[in-house]
């Protein structure tokens, strides 16, 4: 039956008016497996866990591979892929995707797919190179992938540290520095044994740094006085023989006895007089101290980056350690050193070390860095206590003392010995004399450029003495309670 209105028959046999609709081109669809619920566990997240070297749960991990069972379609499209794993049917459509394997058996026609490796892309759209280990040299973590953990970029904290930048626990890029040796409970490297001599942060003191009246007295004045007395004795003897007058000789002898007694007095009591001078010297307040002012500061000690350990007693977290071995020389005994006289105690071995530390001022509460490490000039006045006493009545040596002697290649053959040890540990109260230095709001106490003179103490018959470098004064730390810090 003809009609001027067009009509067509549907698939179910019904005739409807109008022209049949042209089949529309379907949008290309891709499918993938649904992401499993991880519950916050990175081990169940598949490729994300692999990027950070975290073991992945094998039962729920996904493997990268070719795309299978994708619906066939016609037409043309261009996309950039971003998918890792097999492609399955009946999934949501995506306009752009990526695969970590070849695309197979599912895309026909003029489809053009751009392959790329799984992982982040750089600004040019190229995959990033993977590198193993921490990166430095100004490369940010977002620019590279690492197979190991990334060190955190630490912000500047303003913490005052002693020594150069390379002496801290982190390097210039913020990564932990590799160190050898045991660490103490607070993460600082303990310095002891043979490593002390090779550590630039540790100042090794010698006997020349201790007080001695003979070394302290000016040599030109000493030789001038000797020359004058020699000339006086010659002139007095000549006058006594020529004119039988002994007045000049008697005067010279009296003056010589007075000078000799004065020298002997200062040799015996000079150290004690200097300790009394340090105790009487007024404490300064760091808050009002000017740059370049010579001050005395008393306060509580806090360790810096490199704490020390005492040689014999193994006292941890010290800023100053000193161990001395003395021997008594009888009539037939061996000398401890070339200048050891009979019936006296002589020094056989001595080792003293000091490092940079902090002091909290009692007057103002401010904290200052005391620069006593890195070869600085230091004059210590630290009391030592006897820890081992070997005499004719007690010749039994402890195992610790025998080990200590063996480490220093010292013999123990029937000698009368005495071991003394002194130290300044964290929490001790000390007095420090030095020059204040302010640098960008950093408060430090540094050695003075010239020795500090104590002046004459006429009431005690003490001649002037020179104090070189930073002066450290501390009583016997083993008998004084420390302040917890």
- Per-residue pLDDT band for 8 (boundaries 50, 70, 90) equals confident
- Per-residue pLDDT band for 138 (boundaries 50, 70, 90) equals very low
pLDDT value at residue 80: 39
Nearest to 417 by CA among 442, 396, 439: 396
Nearest to 424 by CA among 309, 299, 320: 320
Q: Which residue has the higher pLDDT, 139 or 198?
A: 198
As a whole number, mean pLDDT of residues 178-194 equals 45
In this structure, are residues 426 and 317 in contact, taking their beta carbons and an 8 Å threshold? Answer: yes
Q: How far apart are CA 401 and CA 411, in angstroms?
A: 11
Handedness of CA 119, 123, 126, 132 (dihedral sign): negative
Q: How far apart are CA 266 and CA 118, in angstroms?
A: 83
- Per-residue pLDDT band for 439 (boundaries 50, 70, 90) equals confident
- Per-residue pLDDT band for 278 (boundaries 50, 70, 90) equals very high
- Per-residue pLDDT band for 330 (boundaries 50, 70, 90) equals confident
Q: Which residue has the higher pLDDT, 12 or 129?
A: 12
pLDDT value at residue 441: 79
Please state which of the ranges 70-79, 250-259, 465-474 shows the lowest mean pLDDT: 70-79
pLDDT value at residue 13: 75
pLDDT at 419 over 80: yes
State percent of the chain over pLDDT 90.
37
- Per-residue pLDDT band for 38 (boundaries 50, 70, 90) equals low
As a whole number, mean pLDDT of residues 2-7 equals 63
Please state which of the ranges 7-11, 351-355, 478-482 shows the lowest mean pLDDT: 478-482
Q: Which residue has the higher pLDDT, 352 or 56?
A: 352
pLDDT at 353 over 90: yes
Nearest to 473 by CA among 308, 260, 279: 279
As a whole number, mean pLDDT of residues 149-169 equals 46
Please state which of the ranges 11-25, 144-158, 299-313 shows the lowest mean pLDDT: 144-158
Burial 12-37 (b: 16+ CB within 10 A, else e): eeeeeeeeeeeeeeeebebbbeeeee
- Per-residue pLDDT band for 335 (boundaries 50, 70, 90) equals confident
Q: What is the mean pLDDT of the chain?
A: 74
Other beta carbons within 10 angstroms of residue 360's beta carbon come to: 18
pLDDT at 478 over 90: no
- Per-residue pLDDT band for 128 (boundaries 50, 70, 90) equals low
pLDDT at 122 over 80: no
Please state which of the ranges 42-56, 221-235, 297-311, 428-442 shows the lowest mean pLDDT: 42-56
Q: Which residue has the higher pLDDT, 283 or 212?
A: 283
Nearest to 196 by CA among 354, 76, 349, 23: 354
As a whole number, mean pLDDT of residues 446-471 equals 91
Which residues, 6 or more positions from 130, have their beta carbon under 8 angstroms from its beta carbon?
119, 144, 145, 146, 147
- Per-residue pLDDT band for 198 (boundaries 50, 70, 90) equals confident
Q: How far apart are CA 352 and CA 323, in angstroms?
A: 7
Which residues, 6 or more positions from 392, have their beta carbon under 8 angstroms from its beta carbon?
416
In this structure, are residues 416 and 327 in contact, taking their beta carbons and an 8 Å threshold? Answer: yes
Compute the CA torsion angle 336, 340, 345, 348 (nearest 10 deg): -30
Q: How far apart are CA 380 and CA 205, in angstroms?
A: 9
Rounded to the nearest angstrom, the gap between the alpha carbon of residue 431 and the centroid of all alpha carbons in its chain is 24
In this structure, are residues 476 and 422 in contact, taking their beta carbons and an 8 Å threshold? Answer: yes
pLDDT at 103 over 70: no
State percent of the chain over pLDDT 70.
60
pLDDT at 115 over 50: no
- Per-residue pLDDT band for 211 (boundaries 50, 70, 90) equals confident
φ/ψ region of 148 (left if φ > 0, alpha if ψ in -120 to 50, else beta) reads beta
Q: How far apart are CA 101 and CA 66, in angstroms?
A: 5
Q: What is the pLDDT of residues 361-401, one digit of tens each?
A: 998 889 999 999 999 999 999 999 999 888 777 767 788 99
Cα angle value 203/339/323 (rounded, 5°): 35
φ/ψ region of 250 (left if φ > 0, alpha if ψ in -120 to 50, else beta) reads alpha
pLDDT value at residue 311: 92
Q: Which residue has the tokens 């630490």?
A: 154
pLDDT value at residue 332: 82
Per residue, what are the HEC states of the chain?
CCCCCCEEECCCCCEEECCCCCCCCCCCCCCCCCCCCCCCCHHHCCHHHHHCCCCCCCCCCCCCCCECCCCCCCCCCEEECECCCCCCCCCCCCCCCECCCCECCCCCCCCEEECCCCCCECCCCCECCEECCCCCCCCCHHHCEECCCCCCCCCCCCCCCCCCHHHCCECCCCCECCCCCCECCCCCECECHHHCCCCCCCEEECHHHCCCHHHHCCHHHHHHHHHHHHHHHHHHHHHHHHHCCCHHHHHHHHHHHHHHHHHHHHHHHHHHHHHHHHHHCCCCCCCCCCCCCEEEEEEEEEECCCCECCCCCCCCCEEEEEEEEEEEECCCCCCCCCCCCCCEEEEEEEEEEECCEEEEECCCCCEEEECCCCCCCEEEEECCEEEEEEECCECCCCHHHHHHHHHCCCCCCCCCEEEEEEEEECCCEEEEEEEEEEECCEEEEECCCCCEECCCEHHHCECCCEECCEEEEECCHHHCCCCCC
- Per-residue pLDDT band for 237 (boundaries 50, 70, 90) equals very high
Which residues, 6 or more positions from 9, have their beta carbon under 8 angstroms from its beta carbon?
15, 16
pLDDT value at residue 25: 61
């Amino acid at each position: 039956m003809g009609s001027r209105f067009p009509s067509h028959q549907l698939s179910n046999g019904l005739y409807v008016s109008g022209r049949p609709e042209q089949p529309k081109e379907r949008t290309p669809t891709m499918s993938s497996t649904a992401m499993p619920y991880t519950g916050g566990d990175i081990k169940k997240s598949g490729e994300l866990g692999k990027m950070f070297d975290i073991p992945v749960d094998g039962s729920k991990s996904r493997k990268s591979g070719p795309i299978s069972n994708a619906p066939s379609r016609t037409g043309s499209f261009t996309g950039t892929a971003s998918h890792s794993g097999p492609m399955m049917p009946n999934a949501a459509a995506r306009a752009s995707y990526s695969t970590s394997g070849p695309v197979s058996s599912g895309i026909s026609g003029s489809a053009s797919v751009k392959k790329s490796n799984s992982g982040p892309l750089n600004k040019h759209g190229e995959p990033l190179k993977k590198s193993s280990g921490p990166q430095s040299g100004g490369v940010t973590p977002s620019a590279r992938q690492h197979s190991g953990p990334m060190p955190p970029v630490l912000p500047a904290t303003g913490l005052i540290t002693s020594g150069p930048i390379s002496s801290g626990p982190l390097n210039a890029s913020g990564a932990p520095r590799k160190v050898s040796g045991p660490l103490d409970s607070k993460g600082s490297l303990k310095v002891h044994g043979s490593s002390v001599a090779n550590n630039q942060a540790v100042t090794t003191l010698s006997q020349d740094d201790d007080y001695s009246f003979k070394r302290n007295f000016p040599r030109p004045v000493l030789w001038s006085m000797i020359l004058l007395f020699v000339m006086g004795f010659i002139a007095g003897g000549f006058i006594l023989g020529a004119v039988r007058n002994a007045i000049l000789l008697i005067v010279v002898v009296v003056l010589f006895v007075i000078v000799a007694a004065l020298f002997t007095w200062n040799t015996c009591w000079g150290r004690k007089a200097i300790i009394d001078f340090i105790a009487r010297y007024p404490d300064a307040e760091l808050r009002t101290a000017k740059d370049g002012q010579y001050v005395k500061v008393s306060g509580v000690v806090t360790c810096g980056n490199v704490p020390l350990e005492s040689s014999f007693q193994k006292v941890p977290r010290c800023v100053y350690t000193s161990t001395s071995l003395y021997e008594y020389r009888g009539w037939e005994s061996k000398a401890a050193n070339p200048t050891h006289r009979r019936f006296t105690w002589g020094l056989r071995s001595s080792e003293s070390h000091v490092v940079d530390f902090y002091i909290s001022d009692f007057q103002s509460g401010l904290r200052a860095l005391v620069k006593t490490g890195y070869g600085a000039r230091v004059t210590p006045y630290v009391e030592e206590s006897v820890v081992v006493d070997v005499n004719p009545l007690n010749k039994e040596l402890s195992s610790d003392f025998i080990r200590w002697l063996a480490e220093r290649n010292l013999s123990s053959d029937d000698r009368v010995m005495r071991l003394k040890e002194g130290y300044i540990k964290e929490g001790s109260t000390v007095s420090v004399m030095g020059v204040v230095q302010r640098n960008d709001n950093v408060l430090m106490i540094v050695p003075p450029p010239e020795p500090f003179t104590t002046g004459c103490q006429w009431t005690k018959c003490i001649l002037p003495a020179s104090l070189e470098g930073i002066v450290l004064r501390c009583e016997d730390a083993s008998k004084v309670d420390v302040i917890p810090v």
